[in-house]
Amino acid sequence: MKKILLTAMVAFACLTASAQTDADGLSLANGSNAPDFTAVDINGVSHSLYADYLDQGKSVVIDFSATWCGPCWNYHQTHAMADFYEAYGPNGSDEAMVIFVEGDILNTTLENIYGEQGPIAMSQGNWTIGSPYPIIEDNTAINLGAANKYDVDYFPTMYTICAETKTTTKADQKTAVQLRTQISACSPLVGVANHGKIEVPTTVLRICDEGQVADITTKLKNYGNNPIATATVVVKENGTVVATKNYTGNLAQFATAATVTFEGVTLHAASTYTVELLDINGEDAFNEELTTGEFDVILANESNNNILVECYTDSYPGEMSWQIKDSDGTVVAFGGPYQGTPSGNAGGDDANTIKGYGYALTGDIDCYSVVFKDSYGDGWSAGTQDFTGIKITSSGGSVFEYAPGNFGSTLTVASAFKTTGILSTPAVEATKFAMYPNPTTGVLNFSTQETVDVSIIDVTGKVVYTATGINDGGSINVSALQKGVYIAQIKGATTQTTEKIVVN
């Protein structure tokens, strides 16, 4: 989401905050008595600060954020609170609690927490993903951000609350290690040993062929108070172990997760797969619920070589682009950036619309990946359409559909679809086009039924030559290009196609 949008929302939130707080720009002073509250989270579970936690000897981390807040989302993506919760919350030693409060009462809705946009506020993404702790949506009835409560004048505002003293200490955007240190200064945390989690970064693994051999990447995280020196991780297919990996290292608590990769695993779309952490340092892991990850294997849809690609843009089309790559990694189709505003703010001719073109993919049967890109680094999420992403169809049937959400700068979906090597879409065939000679030593001639523009890209995806307004019988000279293989993308008013060209 653009900074200008965040600035606008912050300004709007300040008006909101004036109804909630004294708007003095100051949070609760360190050592303030923590105001008690009872609130129900988005799953219908009630939480009483004193009765459920402080009086039970459990310190609390509380985070006030807003769904539209960029810095809040960036902190959420560090998983610092989730890591602390897994180590010292109910899934770990049960010595502490973490509570997330969506604190913009007037502008945000429950739907915004789940990543939906509008009707007033935007959402940076689905805040429930990666959040094992309770999420509370603040409202006028409890108004936790009020001046006589937690005095929230900006987002994010965070506190730790000491179980022994019942007092607050500011804790804005602290790491899991810093949260542990801050709470331990007043209520020492003991933790548990041999406490880890195995994570599968994706819940869906795509393959183009049944029985395809692929690598499976997993992540090993340490929540225990002793380093992980050894661990055994397995992949199971329908409950039977099909791959085993022994981890060795020195993985400290809260350190960046260690990558555990299983090379060359044969995959079948009809099977059920799990990744399991069998032991840590030769002992059973502390919490079995964290030691299993699941993923599905799905077979990519087949398509003939004529496809229609539709890009559903968000409010910042000037940041959006995409590529389709073949199995060799060669870019065979691409789109964007689209027409935004000169200032880079939300809007523009191509904002929240559909950009569609037809492509005739060259070659035989192949497996293709789709690459999503965002130049600002917040993915495709700040839009008003019900769907923001890529849809690919062929002969009227759906081949690929993906709404990437907030993925950062780049997201690659491997084995997105598979072609049959057959050109069969009448709408594309009706537009006759030829480019010759190919291979060429420099000059390319065009036979076309409509005026076209040409972009030539190299194997890295970089545009190295462009020409516009080419009519039937026209030509271009590419002799300045280095010898090699290129992709020519030809766009007309009614169709778009790609051709592989060789420059000798």
Tell me how many degrees the CA angle 386-389-393 measures, rounded to the nearest 5.
105
Kindly provide the residue ranges of all beta strands, DSSP E only, lying in 125-227, ordered along the sequence.
135-137, 157-161, 168-170, 196-199, 204-207, 213-222
Q: Label the pairing between strands 96-102 and 59-65.
A: parallel
Give yes or no for a contact between 351 and 319, defined as CB atoms under 8 angstroms apart.
no
H or E element at residue 410: strand 410-419
pLDDT at 179: 98
Pull the structure tokens for residue 64: 């006030």
pLDDT at 446: 87
pLDDT band with cut points at 50, 70 and 90 for residue 246: very high
Mean pLDDT of 252-265: 97
Taking only the tens place, the pLDDT of each residue in 26-58 is 789 999 999 999 999 999 999 999 999 999 999
pLDDT at 424: 54
Instruction: Please give the CATH topology (third level) of the domain spanning 196-298.
Output: Immunoglobulin-like (2.60.40)
Whether the per-residue pLDDT at 3 is higher than 80: the answer is no
> Which CATH superfamily hosts domain 3-184?
Glutaredoxin (3.40.30.10)
Looking at the chain, the domain(s) classified CATH 2.60.40.3080 span 431-503
Global pTM value:
0.74
Taking only the tens place, the pLDDT of each residue in 340-386 is 999 888 899 899 988 887 788 877 899 999 999 999 988 998 788 88
pLDDT at 495: 67
- Residues 157, 147: Cα–Cα separation, whole Å: 13
Mean pLDDT of 236-244: 97
- Taking only Cα atoms into account, the Rg of the chain, rounded to an integer number of angstroms, comes to 27
Cα dihedral angle (455, 459, 464, 468), rounded to 10 degrees? -10
Mean pLDDT of 392-399: 87
Instruction: Please give the CATH topology (third level) of the domain spanning 431-503.
Output: Immunoglobulin-like (2.60.40)
- Residues 384, 373: Cα–Cα separation, whole Å: 19
Omega cis (within 30) before 439? yes
In order, the DSSP letters of 205-257 are EEESSTT-EEEEEEEEEE-SSS-EEEEEEEEEETTEEEEEEEEEEEE-TTPPP
Looking at the chain, the domain(s) classified CATH 2.60.40.10 span 196-298
Residue with tokens 């964007």: 336
Instruction: Please give the CATH topology (third level) of the domain spanning 302-423.
Output: Lipoxygenase-1 (2.60.60)
